[in-house]
Amino acid sequence: MVKKKRETTKRDSTRPRMSEMPKRKCKLCEDQVQVDYKQPELLRRFITERGKIVGRHSSGACAKHQREITRAIKRARIMLLVR
């Protein structure tokens, strides 16, 4: 039983490597925004049309702010500020 060698392909030199790409900054950290359940305009940016909370990868928030956003959205849902 002979294993076939994989064909190696050249990497597309126009596309940058992940290690070379600049890291995205958390917009909430940059603007020093306090996340609060009483700010439905801010929270709507992190909710889909169906009412689901957008994840960190899509929202661009850091872990700390994503936890605060999630907590604030859940509190705002209870008080019917956000649907």
Domain boundaries, the chain: 27-78
Cβ 60 vs Cβ 54: under 8 Å: no
Asked if residue 7 has pLDDT above 80, the reply is no
DSSP designation for 8: P
DSSP assignments along 22-55, one per residue: PPPPPHHHHHTPPP-TT-HHHHHTTB-TTSPBPP
pLDDT tens profile 12-67: 667 777 778 787 889 999 999 999 999 999 999 999 999 999 999 999 999 999 99
d(CA 58, CA 82): 20
Cβ atoms of residues 69 and 59 within 8 Å:
yes
Strand-pairing partners, residue 53, are 47
Confidence at residue 64, expressed as pLDDT on a 0 to 100 scale: 95
Note the pLDDT of residue 63.
Answer: 95
pLDDT at 68 over 90: yes
pLDDT-based confidence at 9, cuts 50/70/90?
low
27-78 folds as 30s Ribosomal Protein S18 (4.10.640)
Tell me the C-alpha distance between 14 and 56, whole Å: 28
